[in-house]
Structure 1
Amino acid sequence: MSIAENIARVRANIAAAAKEAGRNVSEITLVGASKMNDADACRAAIAAGIDVLGENREQEMTKKLAEHAYDGAPLHFIGHLQRNKVKNVVGKVAMIESVGSLELLSTIDKQAEKLGIVQDILLEVNIGGEEAKSGFAPESLEQAAEEAKKCANVRVRGLMCIPPVAEGEHGSLPYFEKVHALFVDINAKLYDNTLDILSMGMSGDYEDAVRAGATMVRVGTAIFGARNYTI
C-alpha cells in the first residue's frame, strides 16, 4: 500500500468512528507521525493531503527542515523535548504538543520571548501515571494550566496524552475518556471553552480516541509503514 492509499484508509476509519460517535469528521485533524521516515515520505504524505506532520526528535526534524521536507503542511513537535533543544524547536513548528513540565513550559516561554513570538502548545497529561513517561499528573494539570496562562509568549491550545500500552482491544478507551473529561473541565474552568485541541490516539487506537472526543490523532506506522529501528 502506498502512503496515499494508507492515508485514505485511515481517513475512512476516522470518518466511520466519528459517525459512530455522532461527530463531524471535519472536527478531526490527522497528524502524520513521520519519525524515522525520510523527506520523500513526508512529501508523499503532503501530496496525499495530510493535515499536519509531526516529528519526535529534534535532530531529525532539523535535518528534514533543511531538506524542505515539510513544505506545504504545518509541522508539530510531538515527542519528548529536552530543554537544551528548545531553542531549535520554538518558532520552527506550528505547535509543540508535548509540554509536560513547568520547567519545559518556562524554557519555551523564554525562548519565544527572545524571538518575539507566541508559541502554540499542548499540555501533556501522564494519564497512566507512568514513571517512564513525561507529562503532568491529572491532579496537577489545573495548576499547570494556570501557570501556562501567566506565560505571555505561550498559548495553550489544549491537551495531549499517550496512554499506557493497551491490554486487549479498546484498552486505551478508558484513558482517553479520562483525558477528555479533564479537557472539558479545564476548558470550562480556566479557558472560557476556547481550547480547541485534544490530541490523543496513535496507529493502534486512533479510532477509539475519536470515539472518546479526540480532535487530533497522531498516526505513524498505519500511514508510513513499520519503522526500522535497526538503522
Structure 2
Amino acid sequence: MVQSIKDKLTQLHKEIPSSVSLVAVSKTKPIADIQEAYDAGQRIFGENKIQEMLGKYEVLPKDIEWHMIGHLQRNKVKYMASFVSLIHGVDSLKTLQEINKQAKKHQRTINCLLQVRIAKEETKFGLTKEETEAILTSDAFKELKNIKVIGFMGMATFTEELDQINDEFSSLQQFYEKHKQQHHLNVLSMGMSGDYQLAIQNGSTMIRVGSAIFGERNYIA
C-alpha cells in the first residue's frame, strides 16, 4: 500500500524531536501535493526557484512560511522580498546587501542563513568558515538593518560514507556553537531525506526533506 503524504508526515514527526523544524521541500511538486501536506498540518515549505515559489505563493494559503533553499541569484531577490520567511543559502556579503535593500522597500526584516561549505565536493556553494566569520564581524554587515542572520546552513558530501557525513555535520555544529551566543543564532539547518537522522544527532535544528514526504522529484526538462 502506497503511503499518503499525510502518513509520511505523521511518520516523520514521530521520528524527529519537537525542537527540530521540518521544511517540506516542495520544489517541482504540484499545488495539489503541497495542499495535501498543508491539510496534514505542514506549514513550512522550501523551494529552490523563485518564479516557481512565487506562483505557488499566489494560490496557496497565506499562513505558509516559504523558505528559499536553492542557490540565490541576486537579481531575483526582488520577486520574493515581500513574502519569503527564510533564505537558506546566502554565501556572500553582496547577496546580504541586496536582500537588505529589497527588504527595506517592503518595510520588513528578512531572516537569512549563511551557507557554510562543509562538503568535500567542489560543486557545493558556500562560504569557508573564515569567510563566514569575516562577514559577521564586518562593519558593512553591521549596517544592514533589514536582514537578520539567524543561523548557518550546510550540506554534507553526497556519499555513502556515513563517517564522512557525520564528521562534516559535527564540524558545522562546533562552528555554530562557537558563534551562537555572540551573534544570537538559533538555527542550524543540516540534513535532507537521506541523512536527516545523522544531522539531528549532530545538533541540527532544521531539516529539509523532500522525497521522504512527496516521493521522488519530478524534474522538468
Question: How do 1:159-178 residues align onto structure 2 when only pairs under 5 Å count?
Answer: 159-169=152-162, 171-178=164-171
Partner of residue 9 from structure 1, selected from 5, 8, 11: 11
Question: How do 1:1-231 residues align onto structure 2 when only pairs under 5 Å count?
Answer: 1-14=3-16, 25-68=17-60, 70-128=61-119, 130-147=121-138, 148-169=141-162, 171-188=164-181, 190-191=182-183, 194-231=184-221
Letter in structure 2 aligned against 1:180: Q
Instruction: Could you tell me which runs of 5 or more consecutive residues in structure 1 were left unpaired when the two chains were aligned.
Output: 15-24
Task: Count residues in correspondence.
Answer: 217
Cα distance in 2 for partners of 1:78, 1:46 equals: 19
Measured against aligned partners, the alpha-carbon deviations of 1:43-89 in whole angstroms (never above 9, x if no partner) come to 11111122411111111111112222x53321111111101101012
Cα distance in 1 for partners of 2:119, 2:74 equals: 23
Cα distance in 2 for partners of 1:184, 1:113 equals: 30
Letter in structure 2 aligned against 1:220: G
CA contact (8 A) 1:98 1:160 kept: yes
Letter in structure 2 aligned against 1:126: R
% identical equivalent positions = 37
Cα distance in 2 for partners of 1:229, 1:119 equals: 29
Instruction: Could you tell me which runs of 5 or more consecutive residues in structure 2 were left unpaired when the two chains were aligned.
Output: none
1:228 to 1:138, Cα distance in 2 relative to 1, 3 A: same
CA contact (8 A) 1:160 1:199 kept: yes
Offset at residue 26 of structure 1 (A): 2.1
Offset at residue 212 of structure 1 (A): 0.3
What TM-score results when the alignment is normalised by the length of structure 2? 0.92
SS in 2 for 1:156: strand
CA contact (8 A) 1:100 1:136 kept: yes
Offset at residue 171 of structure 1 (A): 3.9
CA contact (8 A) 1:170 1:205 kept: no
CA contact (8 A) 2:28 2:220 kept: no
Letter in structure 2 aligned against 1:55: E
Offset at residue 129 of structure 1 (A): 5.4
Structure 1 runs (4+) deviating above 3 angstroms are 147-150
CA contact (8 A) 1:197 1:216 kept: yes
What TM-score results when the alignment is normalised by the length of structure 1? 0.88
Cα distance in 2 for partners of 1:87, 1:129 equals: 32
Cα distance in 1 for partners of 2:120, 2:104 equals: 32
